[in-house]
Structure 1
């Protein structure tokens, strides 16, 4: 099952959010298609060799072999014991009914406390846009020094990387490029952002969540710009939730699941559609007219035009991958990025998608090649959201 919650590791100086290994939090939105894919995938794979030695405990077996072994064990039980096991599974179903109510109330609690924070989100929006100038602030929270970070900052490779920073003028208004910087600091979303998207994302002044009983909507607010018509300064992405366990696979229930998403129509100004590009075709014969052709291209704004699959069990694998990545982005926006945007901006929260590229011993060497390696290691289903949307 595809879980898209976040697994956080907290150190004395920073919080590391791992969006790729999300198995430890209670609120775990997943999808029917991800469940069916993981289950069908596990059935189709070879069970593998357990081991030369047959003295292993089930926990030491490969997962498929362990499942087959335990199912055989249950099937081999005496009839009376087998019936007791069925009674225990029935008991578990009753617990799942209680869990459904628990997670629904957790969702309502999340909504209630989010609404209490809206005044603070209004203040954040006004400061980012430059409408409000806050008074001088003294940092009153404690932060432990981190020797590793100081070592990285002093390396020549790191100093070369800092050349890429955008230096703001002293008279800059608000916090320029705030949301663009936040998105670029999250690997999952940065994969969707193309260079030609950046001028418009610089005009993004706020991102909010609107909660409904069985869905939530992510709202992107832009200031007037040269790309979007005034009727499209608010772009929305809606995620529909299922709070009940899957009737076919009830024991897989781990919390509310995103089962569908809906985008919105974008009214572009003439010639400013960032999801399209004009390509001049090669002339097939001498003297032929060179007619330009409009073609789709990758863009963050394809996020607002997800593929539609009402019955995910019938969707093809490409659609399942695209929607799986989309659902993961939607969950991350709701639970992490919108409520904690400033911490992604400052680096207090960073994902560790690329941590397997380097270790403490070779940090400097990895930093020097990070920009090249990133292009290879992030070609997974997250990147499929932008790539496959072009062809959908």
Structure 2
């Protein structure tokens, strides 16, 4: 006996087409759209199934808590091995400053030949070349090493301005100091005409527990706050402000874009922050971690062009993970 399949009603067919469309394009949703879609889908599931999903999500939080313990131990292991690296960092500092003249060595890597003459040069890189035009065989150490390292990092160069460069050229070292679930980025300066400080610091504090408000984006200890330091500017040399004179009797001091706002992050509690301030701090935290994990340990690779940095992918990935989009505030990191 031949069975004739029932024809679907027009409404059923439309529902099926909509379902196929939604499921077929799910992979192409942006992070926020995908999350809203799946949250909505779960709400329409049977109560018994939702109950099982709740248990599974609770188990996921238990997993994250164990993972948090792992990351915490890894932090202390990292601190332990950092102590072993200090001698290498000190030797690097001595070579850069000219205090130590190392013996010649053959490379331990295979040289890569590249035609640099075909590479386009932007404004920053042209200025870097100008810095080294005066270098000769009599030059001691590696002049302007840290300024060059900072300017060749895509993530850091965006917050460095021309007016910052004379002071940044006086950097003698950038180091890390580890504490109890916190670390401090330390900028060491030679005598200069801008600041009295020999040392500028930025301390980052890591979370000791899961953020139970929304624990599901956990991927390691988050920076929960950062503390800068007071810059003791010499008279008339403050790079973070400028004086505007309106008349003979009236003038005003206004902030200007400068790298050195980096040492004066917002001091608001999370509850008091607007979205823009949260975005600024989010990027600030990422820059601190980038300096700790990449820029300071691999500084020579930034200088020689052997470090491949994908900052755009890095920022987009972190934004997607945290569930919001930035609104052009990367530059606002250094303008209060």
TM-score normalised over the length of structure 2: 0.81
| 3-state SS, counterpart of residue 89 of structure 1 | helix
- 1:218 and 1:156 map into 2 onto residues whose CA distance is 33
Q: Within 5 A, what are the aligned runs for 1:108-123?
A: 108-123=76-91
Aligned to 1:168: 134
**What is the match of residue 297 of structure 1?**
256
* Pick aligned residue for 2:235 from 258, 261, 270: 270
Deviation at 1:339, TM superposition (A): 0.7
1:216-365 to structure 2, matched below 5 A, reads 216-229=183-196, 232-281=197-246, 283=247, 289=248, 293-310=252-269, 312-353=270-311
TM-score (norm 1): 0.70
Which secondary structure state, in structure 1, belongs to the residue aligned with residue 268 of structure 2?
Answer: coil
Query: What does residue 44 of structure 1 align with?
Result: none
Matched length: 303
Q: Cα deviation per residue 1:17-45 (whole Å; 9 max; x = unaligned)?
A: xxxxxxxxxxxxxxxxxxxxxxxxxxxxx
Separation (CA, whole Å) in 1 of partners of 2:123 and 2:34: 50
1:132 paired residue number: 100
C-alpha change, 1:178 and 1:83, in structure 2 (3 Å) is: same
In the superposition, relative to structure 1, how do residues 134 and 269 fare at CA in structure 2: closer, same or farther (>3 Å)? same
Other-structure match for 1:142: 110
Contact 1:215 1:238 in 2 (8 A): yes
Deviation at 1:299, TM superposition (A): 1.5
CA deviations 1:66-86 (Å, max 9, x no partner) are: 444433443444444333322
Tell me the equivalent position of 1:23: none
Higher relative contact order (CA 8 A, sep 6+): 1
Structure 1 51/60 Cα, relative in aligned 2: closer, same or farther at 3 Å?
A: farther
Deviation at 1:64, TM superposition (A): 4.8
Distance 1:296 1:159 in 2: 27
Q: Provide the rounded CA distance (Å) in 1 between the counterparts of 2:180 and 2:126.
A: 47
Partner of 2:323: none
What are the Cα deviations for residues 358-377 of structure 1, in whole angstroms up to 9, with x where unaligned? xxxxxxxxxxxxxxxxxxxx
Q: CA RMSD in A?
A: 2.9
Aligned partner (choices 168, 187, 209) of residue 201 of structure 1: 168
Deviation at 1:216, TM superposition (A): 0.9
- Where structure 2 has 5 or more consecutive residues not aligned to the other structure, the ranges are 1-14, 314-325
